[in-house]
Amino acid sequence: MPTTTTDIFTEKIERDLAIEPRDPMPEEYRRHLMRQISQHAHSEVIGMQPEGNWITRAPSLRAKMILLAKIQDEGGHGLYLYSAAETLGISREEMIEQLQTGKARYSSVFNYPALTWADIGAIGWLVDGAAIVNQVMLQRTSYGPYARAMVRICKEESFHQRQGYEIMAKMAAGTPEQHEMAQDALNRWWAPALMMFGPSDAESLHSKAAFQWKIKRESNDALRQKFIDKTVQQTEVIGLKVPDPNLRFNAETGHYETSPLNWDEFHRVINGDGPCNRQRLEHHRKFHEEGRWVREACQC
Amino acid sequence: MDTQLDLWEVFVQSKPGQSYKHAGSVHASDKQMALQNARDVYTRRGEASGLWVVRAADIAASSLSDHDMLFDPANDKIYRHPTFYQVPAGAKNI
């Protein structure tokens, strides 16, 4: 019989049993999850900005309704995740403050701008597509509330990816200018989407503990490869080209090989020096501040 | 005179990691008694890895008469379903 707190926790993890909020857990496990879940939540919320930018300029009423529904979902995903993080004993205010002071991060991919309508296609198809690969794994993560939030989110993401892919397919099959826009969006979003999985686990700071605790069950590189293998075929079907001269299929491994990614750029962008970092946080602060009276009214 | 104790709703988690699902209710005077009664009434055959009890009076619920109005916004938005979208012939894993 396990006796100490650590024993109970370790035994549950070993037996693949989910950890629930009131179960004993090591302080480092709790802190790791607080960081990961809150940053996941921030990504959902900040991720609304590049897309929200296109609501008023959507090319048809159909496209506009779809985009609104998608962005509404992202807000919802942020809420599921903030709630899951709160079960660990951190408040919403603390998390927002960590985001706004730069102590907590969000996915580096959202620091790139959505320049044309084709970017909305590329974001749904590639950014949501990469997120799905990661989130499918997280449905089996060891912390119960996080895993359950992931199940809900994955169900909803499928629409997000398909609406993006539909936009890309339509534009790729449109006029030469539209085709060019689709290819250009793919060119710009390809590498940032691949970098969403994070650096190779060898240099990833938090990976080792995350594996031990079964927060994470597949390596960053393995997840990235999964995404590449799926996406290359989807690219070819709609007549676009993967923007990588070194892309080749290795018949022996059954996987695609790609050029190394520019991790200097990744670190630069995630540390604050991407094309839109300042704008994203300023926007968040502005609306958070403008909503202050609502929060205060709620407490009366 | 009401001789019954307060009503509590019982939520059972059947396996670690799964959502807590409503199982039924019990009467009890406090949290501890509610948990014990819930255990005795709803988990006699090893059905549970976790139990939640919530005082019924503390639950806010939607009412049947508001049903149409409350859930209406979801009915006409078929584009929230992935099957709404045309996937080009031959595209896989999407």
Separation between Cα atoms, residue A246 and residue A120, nearest integer Å = 26
Model confidence at A207: pLDDT above 90: no
Least confident interval from A146-150, A270-274, B45-49: B45-49
Asked if the Cβ–Cβ distance from A234 to B92 is below 8 Å, we say yes
For B53, the enclosing helix (H) or strand (E) is: strand B50-55
Mutation choice for A interface testing from B85, B86, B87, B92 by most A CBs within 10 A: B85
Number of Cβ pairs closer than 8 Å across A and B?
68
For A234, counting Cβ atoms within 10 Å of its Cβ (0-12 exposed, 13-18 middle, 19+ buried), the class is buried
The whole-number average pLDDT for the span A139-157 is 94
Where does the pLDDT of residue A181 fall: very low under 50, low under 70, confident under 90, or very high at 90 and above?
A: very high
Query: Which of B80, B89, B92 comes nearest A159 by C-beta?
Result: B80
* Residues A6-15: contacts with CB under 8 Å, at least 24 apart: A12/B16, A13/A142, A13/A212, A13/A213, A13/A214
E-assigned strand segments in B3-47 = 6-13, 21-28
Side chain identity at residue A53, one-letter code? N
Domains of chain B (ranges, CATH numbers): 6-84 (3.10.20.520)
Average pLDDT for chain A: 94
The whole-number average pLDDT for the span A290-298 is 91
Please list every residue in chain B whose beta carbon sits closer than 8 Å to the beta carbon of residue A68. none
Side chain identity at residue B70, one-letter code? L
Asked if the Cβ–Cβ distance from B85 to A165 is below 8 Å, we say yes
For A250-263, write each residue's pLDDT tens digit: 999 999 999 999 99
Side chain identity at residue A81, one-letter code? L
The whole-number average pLDDT for the span B78-90 is 89
What number does CATH give the domain A5-299?
1.20.1260.10
Interface confidence: ipTM more than 0.95: no
Separation between Cα atoms, residue A133 and residue A52, nearest integer Å = 24
Instruction: Give me the pLDDT at residue A197, please.
Output: 96
Would you give the end-to-end CA distance of chain A in angstroms? 50
The whole-number average pLDDT for the span A119-127 is 98
Model confidence at A3: pLDDT above 90: no
Model confidence at B39: pLDDT above 80: yes
Please list every residue in chain B whose beta carbon sits closer than 8 Å to the beta carbon of residue A73. 80
Do residues B58 and B6 lie in contact, with contact meaning Cβ atoms separated by under 8 Å? Answer: no
Backbone angles phi, psi at B7, to 5 degrees: -90, 135
Model confidence at A224: pLDDT above 90: yes
**Residue linked to tokens 């012939």:** B89
Separation between Cα atoms, residue A62 and residue A49, nearest integer Å = 20
Query: Which of B16, B86, B93 comes nearest A17 by C-beta?
Result: B16
Shortest Cα–Cα distance, B1 to chain A (Å): 37
The whole-number average pLDDT for the span A210-236 is 96
Shortest Cα–Cα distance, A212 to chain B (Å): 18
Each domain of chain A, given as residue ranges in start order, spans: 5-299
Please list every residue in chain A whose beta carbon sits closer than 8 Å to the beta carbon of residue B88. 169, 237-238
Instruction: Give me the pLDDT at residue B1, please.
Output: 62
Would you give the end-to-end CA distance of chain B in angstroms? 62
Model confidence at A1: pLDDT above 70: no
Instruction: Give me the pLDDT at residue B16, please.
Output: 86
Residues in chain A: 300
